[in-house]
Amino acid sequence: MIAIVDYGMGNLRSVQKAFEYLGYDAAVTDQGRTLENASHIVLPGVGAFRDAIAALKSKDLDVLIKREVAKGKPFLGICLGMQLLFDRSLEDGEYEGLGLIGGEVVRFNTDLKIPHIGWNTLFYNKRTALFDGVDDNYFYFVHSYHAAKVAKEDIETTCVYGYEFAAGVNRDNVWGVQFHPEKSGDTGLKVLRNFGAIK
99: buried, middle or exposed (CB in 10 Å: 19+, 13-18, 0-12)? middle
143 catalytic, yes or no?
no
Residue 156's H or E segment, with its range, is strand 155-160
**Catalytic-labelled residue, pool 116, 143, 146, 180:** 180
Instruction: Judge contact between 191 and 197, C-beta under 8 A.
Output: no
Q: Is the CA virtual torsion 160, 162, 167, 171 positive or negative?
A: positive
User: Would residue 146 show up in a list of annotated catalytic residues for this protein?
Assistant: no
**Cis peptide bond prior to 74, omega within 30° of 0:** no
Written as one letter, the residue type at 172 is: D
**CA 161/CA 169 separation, integer angstroms:** 17
Question: Pick the catalytic residue: 68, 91, 156, 182?
Answer: 182
Q: How big is the chain, counted in residues?
A: 199
Distances (CA, A) of 106 to 9, 102, 143, 149: 20, 14, 11, 10
List the Cα angle 188/165/141 in 5-degree steps.
Answer: 35
Which residue in 79, 91, 146, 156 is the catalytic one? Answer: 79
Active site annotation includes 182: yes
Number of Cβ within 10 Å of residue 133's Cβ equals 10
- Enumerate the active-site residues: 79, 180, 182
